[in-house]
Structure 1
Amino acid sequence: MKLNQFGLKHESLSTAKKELTDLHFLTEKSATTGTALWFELLRKSFLTVKDESGFVAKLGNLLADETNDLAEFYQKEKTLNKDVFYTVALQLLEFEHGIDFSVEHLGKDLLKINVPTIDGDFEQVDTVIAAWYLLLNTHTQNGLTFLDKLANEGFYLDQNVSQPLFINGKAQAVFDATKIIREVVYVEADLDTDADGKRDLLKLEILRPGETETGLKVPTLFTASPYNQGVNGPAGEQLTYNVNLPLERKEPTDTQYEDIQYQPEAKDLPPARSVNGQADQATETFARELTNYTLNDFFLVRGFAVVYGAGIGTRDSDGIQTCGSVEQTDSMVAYIEWLTGKRRAFTNRTDNLEIKAWWSNGKVAMTGKSYLGTLATACATRQVEGLETIISEAAISDWYQYYRDNGLVIAPGGFPGEDADVLAIETFSKMKNAGDYLHSKTFFMDYLAEMARLQDRRFGNYNSFWDERNYLPFVKDIKCDVVMVHGLNDWNVKPRQVADLWDALKTVPVTKKLILHQGQHIYINNQPSLDFSDMMNLWLSHKLYGVENQAKEILPDIIYQKNTAVETWETLKDWQGEQTQTYHLSKTELVTTETSGQVTFNDELLTEQYERYTKNIPLWEKDLKENGVMDGHRYLAKSAELTSELLIAGRPTVKLTVASSQDLGMLSFQLVDFGKAKRLKDVPDLLVPHGMPLGPNWREENVMEFKFGPETEYKLISRGHINLQNRENPWKNDELIAGEMVTIEVHLHPTLYHLPKGRQLGLIIYGTDFAHTVRGNQEIEYTIELGESTLTLPLA
């Protein structure tokens, strides 16, 4: 295991002494020699034994040097040195001698594992203090700091420590998980989305430390999750669209953006509810969150409250589901406003007894992945008072780019035929309460039908429906600091979503951080090679508790996972490389000199082959990249073997002069790494089930890590799509005349990809994308003018 600790704060000796005193590792009676002090510190960290014999027995389990176990070292009264300290330290961090490290190669192995160390005379007390403090804040093999490991073993149980407690700038697990309070309130929003003449009440599930009952005020992590109250899988499947349809021609238009720009309509709002009284305590509880986020669980025992709100149109809430609309954002903003004292909530849906978030310190952060992170981004654009930061993971910044792309209907990876209305009915969990659903069924189904019309699956253009669901024009209004996390192999919420947000934030005067991993659509808070939870702890302790820990300065602007090595994370200042490399297209090669000539390919496949691919997308992906059955149905060109490594950083661009044999057409693109090699998998392996305790007597998370898979011949780097009738923009239809050459420019999805020496870069151009586009199997022949076509890579 290689540790990458970006959230580690290097403290002064005086701070280390103070915090070790707070932890009772140091007292007025502490030893005055380094060796004696070290054994005192070890004694206090061996929590399962109370007497000298037990202590010596535990020491005997550890290796001290080449000839002594630690009990022998202790009993012989040997003098501590750096090698002995770090030989023992590695074992305390759960690394195994003979497997992860050896005494003979200790220095080299410490560098390999990337354990932070200090030099000095270890017989000096100050050296041992500094080294022990650093060790406590170093990660173990299973993704926790050594201090977290001690906490989970009961270190704080018999100690009188402050709550909250901050060590190394981060909140510690000093709160009792068995005392967590679970309660439900109903927030009144300025909405009536189901048109029943009453303002929508929105259910909010709250988990807060029991210590808040005695006056402690805590900040809140809010996860806005339309999935939190359940999903309607069968209803979504029933509404899912058939994608085995032909691409249709669009009549040319001269549409301007102003013609389709979303304009909100004023709506009459029912009066607010009358308040019948006040309540100090909620009257409704719940047993377990339906969809919890383990990062939230990590913070619950560190002095943070956690709330889950599903919003309008979900089980036990009023309203209807609208999938990304202004009203959905309004509903999530309402929760924040209640947490910060700016909005009313009630103990239930009928008695009108008002309850306040009296336990809240008024500071909120939003967390969550996918739809959850999307709504965090949406709320951030509203300048909500008290929303201090968002941690948006795999988040949508523009819904058009999720379900459409450059004038095409595009499926999110793995979900052909899904669309905004499908997601709306899937998350309309009111359907699970049959009695409640009875009263809004007709209204919702009428809304769903109108939604289907407005989203326009037939032509796929950007319109007012999608403009309402595009948060990018409002990024300029963001006032809170932003952390973004995204997978470079996420073809569900594709990398362009976070890149567009990152670019839009460049001129906004807020702090922004970006973490890019090599995975698909996943969370990354359970990987021991990256201290994600620690980084977020540093960040949230500063943002929500006001701890002056230099989080903004310590955390790099961009952290990315290298694709050519396991457990390796590196940093950048910006995503877009400052240099470029341009390749020209020839018949079968990507070359650096100008070319000429033409190539053609036909999108129509034999019926048997077409039907096979509609049922087996992985087979189509394989055949597309290999010579053989797809010859003549796509253009494939490779570079010569690279003589030096390339780091592609940003958006590859394809400029193409092309003709379609019909008056309609679409093109798809894949950028591919060719060459036999073991490559990092885009789904992490399970290392230890439930191996990461999130706090003492609390929940656990699986330990996962990205590993190399078996040798493969190629790896997808990036992709892109365009309707040839949307060459200028996605809201204006361009004329396309059969056989006439047109020029297009397509920005593929941004990436950070190391292409090693000896590999070949490949570009594939084709029509139907069986994973993402409509699949009409139309007889369309595409002709590429090679001399006027290029691929340009941004390089770091």
Structure 2
Amino acid sequence: MTTVRARVTILVSSTVLCLGSVTGTATAARMPDDPGAPGAAAPAPTPATPPYVDAARKSTQPVYDYADALRESVYVDTELDTDSDGQNDVVAVDIVRPRGTDLSGLRIPVIMDASPYYSCCGRGNESEKKTYDENGVIQKMPLFYDNYFVPRGYAVVGVDIVGTGRSTGCGDVGGKDEIDSVVAVIDWLNGRNTAHTADGQDVEATWSSGAVGMIGKSYDGTLANGVAATGVNGLKTIVPISAISSWYDYTRSGGVPYSDDYMPWLGGYVGHDSPACDAVRADLGDNDDDETGDYTSFWAERDYLKTASKVKASVFITHGLSDYNVQTNHFSQWWTALAKNKVPRKLWLGLEDHVDPFEFRRDKWVDELHKWFDYWLQGLQNGVMKEPMASIETAPDVWRDYKTWPAVNRTMPVPLSAGKLGAAGKGTVTVTDEPDLTEDDIVSDPSQVIAGRQMFLSAPLPAPIRISGTASVTLKIKADSTTTPVTARLIEYGEAERFSGIRRTDDSTCEGESTEYDDACYFTVEKLTTESDHGIVSRGWIDAAHSNSLSKPTPLTPGQWSTVTVPLRAQDEVIPKGRILGLAVTLSDTEWTTPNDTGATIDIDLAGSKLNLPVTSGKLTAPTKPQPIQVDITTPTHRPDLHDQEN
């Protein structure tokens, strides 16, 4: 079955052909700009009323023929020489834009997806790659952006970041060189830089209004965050999807590495195969400090939170609450940093893991993205900034809007006692590291004594509670070693039908116009649920010596008390009445992380320990007597890396 949005669609043997389009004539004057929030760029002005603007709808309309669009491939100059060959690197830029605007002299805004994936791995659920005609000019641009937005008066630009695709040089995996290579393109689009064709002819972006919006998932969205954090002029908005805000936090948690030598591996996975680039990647491995887990200048260069105060672009964040590839701390800490700078922003949180909302909320996503770009790049006063700030999926395909996020800016301290959550305790409990303990072992039989695990259980909830924000666990510990990983899991117990993922179907929908070589039709997905007796609310890891400082760890003094805080991953979830919350504390976790130290024993002072829970209402109480809970479950046994799921 195929769903059609504003076109005729024919389904033949699971192949979708999209024919025709709906067009309209813009008749009204351009709406005045809205200055937006303090500290942020206003929507981009345009000097004339474009023919693609319908004032009655306050929307751009598809008036240009996509098949007749101008397609160009250029090379933007940089001041980089990342492969040390004595020649400055160039950045390959592919452009699709409406021919009608070129003939009329209109300057139009740009939607940009900068990526390392266009040649190596592909984009989207179908893993689409760029393809070129016999002259080396872009023929097919991945994803639906050009099919949908070019007929509506936008240029869509795909950038091969330095060291990838048809660009020269060597990438530095989230570092200054990669970010600067994208900034160079924005500078060219604003007349501040030069570019040339493959045969060396100079080319100017005389068609560009200078207003740029960046979008992309995973690495692409990460680049959008990094470029926005430079404060480059001309970047008006970004739409980071499942994006990294700090590469340190992507490769480790509080000093505990997720895996070894990830940065050089990723550089090789997406980048050029050459001796020069091998040397650059060797430097990445030499400087990543995997063996210590320390936060160094290497990671500071790749930490976009440090310069979030420079962000002038508006930001529309989307993230999956089940994402343990780019984990939820990335969107939450970026969101918090943007809020401090009063950046205009919007947030979508789905139940899914590392998935683009185009896959799981397609119709609404395309419409909302259209409104967002119309407002910030075309200056149309369509009310998008008057909508609720946050939209959150509370059950499969059930969404609720909120005025702000998180729901609370405070946490409720939940005391711990022996085996109980919600009552203050005395004395100590002991945890001895069991590196072979699996997550299935840890969360099963929560009322039983299991070596290597301390479980704390609440009484059944007397009313629903909403956990909204970032929880943490504060533990007063005495260890027999100078450091140890500490792992915490927050679990909710109770039989229920729970969301368990998505699966691609054989159905397609079409979002934009198609040609014989570039269709706008993409498979849909269906959401899966599973009957289970528990759900993991959040996880977290810390190396005890890094608890107070990631850059200057303080070794524990064996036999002396110290306080360690384990940050859990951000979450927004309503826990129904009658469920039981469990807090599991273990030491090293060899399924989700690659700890440097194992084998310790710690004592936990219950009176000095607590769960810090961001909740909107209700309270947690301890059970009056032990409650046997039997569970039989299977949970993920590894942390997926950036390349494991859809790019």
Match of 1:293 among 143, 146, 159: 143
Match of 1:306 in 2: 156
**Inter-CA distance 599–287: structure 2 relative to 1 (3 Å threshold):** same
Instruction: Give the alignment of 1:382-393 within 5 angstroms.
Output: 382-393=230-241
Match of 1:225 among 109, 115, 118: 115
Contact 1:529 1:568 survives alignment (8 Å): no
Instruction: Give the alignment of 1:608-647 within 5 angstroms.
Output: 610=436, 620-627=438-445, 631-647=450-466
Alignment pair present for 1:597 and 2:487: no
| Matched position secondary structure for 1:788 | strand
Q: Deviations over 1:28-48 (max 9, x none)?
A: xxxxxxxxxxxxxxxxxxxxx
**Inter-CA distance 548–751: structure 2 relative to 1 (3 Å threshold):** same
Match of 1:334 among 178, 184, 192: 184
Match of 1:317 in 2: 167
Contact 1:664 1:724 survives alignment (8 Å): yes
Which amino acid is the alignment partner of residue 393 of structure 1? I
Q: Deviations over 1:695-737 (max 9, x none)?
A: 3664112233545x12111111111111111121101121313
Structure 1 residues without counterparts, runs of 5 or longer: 1-93, 95-140, 233-281, 432-436, 614-619
Alignment pair present for 1:169 and 2:58: yes
Q: Deviations over 1:736-783 (max 9, x none)?
A: 133332111233121111100011111111112233322579432222
Match of 2:580 among 751, 760, 766: 760
Contact 1:170 1:534 survives alignment (8 Å): no
Contact 2:26 2:61 survives alignment (8 Å): no
Indicate the structure with greater strand content.
2
Give 1:371 shift.
Answer: 0.9
Q: Deviations over 1:62-83 (max 9, x none)?
A: xxxxxxxxxxxxxxxxxxxxxx
| Matched position secondary structure for 1:787 | strand
Contact 1:600 1:782 survives alignment (8 Å): yes
Instruction: Give the alignment of 1:90-129 within 5 angstroms.
Output: none
Instruction: Give the alignment of 1:740-751 within 5 angstroms.
Output: 740-751=560-571
**Inter-CA distance 685–175: structure 2 relative to 1 (3 Å threshold):** farther
**Inter-CA distance 227–630: structure 2 relative to 1 (3 Å threshold):** farther
Distance (whole Å) between structure 2 residues aligned to residue 366 and residue 182 of structure 1 = 19
Distance (whole Å) between structure 2 residues aligned to residue 342 and residue 597 of structure 1 = 67
Match of 2:256 in 1: 408
Contact 2:144 2:511 survives alignment (8 Å): no
Contact 1:165 1:174 survives alignment (8 Å): no
**Inter-CA distance 686–230: structure 2 relative to 1 (3 Å threshold):** closer
Distance (whole Å) between structure 2 residues aligned to residue 705 and residue 764 of structure 1 = 32
Give 1:568 shift.
Answer: 2.5
Instruction: Give the alignment of 1:650-669 within 5 angstroms.
Output: 650-669=469-488
Distance (whole Å) between structure 2 residues aligned to residue 394 and residue 468 of structure 1 = 20
Contact 1:530 1:569 survives alignment (8 Å): no
Match of 1:556 in 2: 388
Which amino acid is the alignment partner of residue 215 of structure 2? T
Match of 2:499 in 1: 680
Distance (whole Å) between structure 2 residues aligned to residue 297 and residue 671 of structure 1 = 43
Give 1:621 shift.
Answer: 2.6
Alignment pair present for 1:364 and 2:212: yes
Match of 1:695 in 2: 513
| Matched position secondary structure for 1:192 | coil
Which amino acid is the alignment partner of residue 560 of structure 1? I
| Matched position secondary structure for 2:531 | strand
Give 1:680 shift.
Answer: 2.0
**Inter-CA distance 726–693: structure 2 relative to 1 (3 Å threshold):** closer
**Inter-CA distance 298–623: structure 2 relative to 1 (3 Å threshold):** farther
Indicate the structure with greater helix content.
1
Give 1:295 shift.
Answer: 4.3
Structure 2 residues without counterparts, runs of 5 or longer: 11-17, 28-50, 123-133, 617-647
Match of 2:400 among 545, 569, 576: 569
Contact 1:769 1:775 survives alignment (8 Å): yes
Contact 2:94 2:159 survives alignment (8 Å): yes
Match of 2:99 in 1: 210
Distance (whole Å) between structure 1 residues aligned to residue 315 and residue 326 of structure 2 = 18
Distance (whole Å) between structure 1 residues aligned to residue 291 and residue 61 of structure 2 = 54
Q: What's the TM-score, normalizing by structure 1?
A: 0.67
Identity across aligned pairs (percent)? 28
Give 1:375 shift.
Answer: 0.8
Which amino acid is the alignment partner of residue 743 of structure 1? T
| Matched position secondary structure for 2:140 | coil
**Inter-CA distance 309–766: structure 2 relative to 1 (3 Å threshold):** same
Distance (whole Å) between structure 2 residues aligned to residue 645 and residue 148 of structure 1 = 46
Which amino acid is the alignment partner of residue 596 of structure 1? K
Contact 1:142 1:528 survives alignment (8 Å): no
Which amino acid is the alignment partner of residue 229 of structure 1? S
Q: Deviations over 1:463-486 (max 9, x none)?
A: 110011111121111111111111
**Inter-CA distance 160–675: structure 2 relative to 1 (3 Å threshold):** closer
Alignment pair present for 1:427 and 2:270: yes
Q: Deviations over 1:466-516 (max 9, x none)?
A: 011111121111111111111111111111111111111113243111111
Q: What's the TM-score, normalizing by structure 2?
A: 0.82
| Matched position secondary structure for 2:545 | coil
**Inter-CA distance 569–745: structure 2 relative to 1 (3 Å threshold):** same
Distance (whole Å) between structure 1 residues aligned to residue 371 and residue 427 of structure 2 = 58
**Inter-CA distance 304–688: structure 2 relative to 1 (3 Å threshold):** farther
Distance (whole Å) between structure 1 residues aligned to residue 213 and residue 527 of structure 2 = 28
Match of 1:585 in 2: 416
Larger Rg: 1
| Matched position secondary structure for 1:641 | coil
Distance (whole Å) between structure 1 residues aligned to residue 180 and residue 149 of structure 2 = 26
Contact 2:160 2:166 survives alignment (8 Å): no
Alignment pair present for 1:447 and 2:280: yes
Alignment pair present for 1:194 and 2:25: no
Match of 1:247 in 2: none
Match of 1:670 in 2: 489
Contact 2:147 2:511 survives alignment (8 Å): no
Contact 1:528 1:705 survives alignment (8 Å): no
Which amino acid is the alignment partner of residue 460 of structure 2? E
Distance (whole Å) between structure 2 residues aligned to residue 753 and residue 741 of structure 1 = 34
Distance (whole Å) between structure 2 residues aligned to residue 633 and residue 173 of structure 1 = 61
**Inter-CA distance 302–771: structure 2 relative to 1 (3 Å threshold):** farther
| Matched position secondary structure for 2:358 | coil
